Amino acid sequence: MLDLDSGKAHRSVNVLVLITLSVLGALIALAAELPYGGWIQIPLLSTLWWRLSLLKDCSLKQYFFSSLTFGIGYFVAGLWWLYISLHDVGGMNFLLSCMAVFLLSTYVAFYFSIACISIRLFKSSYVSGLLLASSWVLGEYLREEIFTGFPWMGFAETQVNGPFASIAPFFGGLACTFLVIWTSWEIFHLKQRFKISVISIAAVLTISQLAGFISFTKPFGEPISIRLIQGNFEQSLKFNPLEINQQIDFYANEIKRQKADLVIIPETAFPWPQNNLPVSLMNYLQNFSNSSSSNLLLGLIGEVRTDKGMQYTNRATGLSPNTAPYHYDKSHLVPFGEFIPLGSRWFVQAFNVPMSDFARGSLKQEPFEIARKNQSAIHAAITICYEDVFGGELASRIQNSEAPVNLLINMTNLAWFGQSQAPTQQLRLSQMRSLETGLPALRATNTGITAVLGADGKILDALPEFTQASLSAQLQPYAGKTPYVIWGNLPILSISCLLLIWGLIRHRRF
């Protein structure tokens, strides 16, 4: 019997078990960065179920903390780049930076542990995998909702390189997560019920692949010419008064260099409040838009009046020919980086983040209208940086928009995180959003990865990271709505809840 409190021999064994689980978590996180990461993670998860199965004689508390160790290893390996923003860029104390990353990893790992507890709570049977997958889906959904949400590093986005990507337009990323967990559980049980598991896995994989031939959106109008400008300015210079004019001049000159139907610069590319920008600059850009028939989308700092007085916003301003400016203010803000949670001002003051208390934009902002000569206008749903983590929110915005949405635009600045896997992680998130909505996407970033994505989430073109360059391409807008846009997470959450209720009734009966 495994007992964490009895004897040195047992304690040393248990330390080894915990180390093994944390290393396994790190390996699964790192596997996401491999070319077929979505496939590789599934058998690795099967190894997790095998390792946890060896702890069947320990207490529920010990089982919980063992699975928590796995989650901590997973998230520390996947979120270590937060240390760069806190310590290297923000100047926070080394130990406090490390502790912040560890505590956040522990918090999000908590949801993994709660899901794993279902293995112990329900009697083992042929439906155990369905109940575990349902628990995992609910845990991921709660992770997206509680305390403003932090659903980063889920198993859904890795499925852009995995077997279940084509399920996303039907039921979203959470459904992909459900199938990843269920499949890994069935692989773990191949020895006990080989025929049933093999047939079940083969059937699900076949249906998933066939689903990829179904399309809910279709090309709309003619392709548009686009330019995505990547400035590659270091974060330490972004808010340096001596460097701001250089950044503004670079983007203004680069915009003028070549016209296009749509020209986009990154999040806070103009790192200065809009009302304080030179009037001549905005007039210059509006005149260029008028004369060239180019639509411009600019990342800058907005200002709005709130109950607290005038507050800054993280804003995208659109300039279209002979039209009043369009504004989109970021709605889903980053805790500590863009707003200060109650009682945590001391933490924000421990590192240097200018303008870290933004006002929140409305959830009901209309898309950006892109004017075209002699053709119908197209409309783009905008997200700024972190917002493209929240697939349900984006789907709801598209569904409730008065104007039909034809493409997605994400403007971001990941210079905060240096040379890490953060840019590739967010690229996969954008790919998943394209899959869920059936719409192409544009990513305009400061340091990378600036990219053009197809309606199927595939990368059509991209710029190398950490280069100052401009990406010119043609993009085909799409029209229509996927089932996920219409229904959101309701179907997969309903299925998961019904399965868990059935599991509880069955558990009590037997």
Q: CA-CA distance, 135 to 124, in Å (whole number)?
A: 15
Burial of 506 (0-12, 13-18, 19+ CB in 10 A): middle
* Cβ count near 283 (within 10 Å): 10
Q: CA-CA distance, 245 to 337, in Å (whole number)?
A: 24
pLDDT value for 393:
93
State the number of CA atoms in the 13 A half-sphere of 277 facing the CB.
24
Q: CA-CA distance, 65 to 71, in Å (whole number)?
A: 10
Amino acid identity, position 352: N
pLDDT value for 1:
36
User: Helix, strand or coil for residue 368?
Assistant: strand
The pLDDT averaged over each successive group of 10 residues in the chain (510 residues) is 41 70 95 95 95 84 90 94 82 86 93 90 81 96 89 93 96 97 94 88 95 95 95 75 84 93 94 83 92 94 82 92 92 67 53 65 90 88 92 94 95 87 94 97 94 96 95 96 97 96 77
* Residues with catalytic roles: 267, 330, 385
Domains in the chain: ranges and CATH: 8-214+497-509 (no CATH), 218-342+351-481 (3.60.110.10)
Amino acid identity, position 79: L
Interhelix angle 173-188/37-53, nearest 10 degrees: 50
Q: Which tens digit of pLDDT belongs to each residue from 395-434?
A: 999 999 999 999 999 999 988 888 889 999 999 999 999 9
pTM for this model (two decimals): 0.90
Six-digit token string for 477: 């807008």
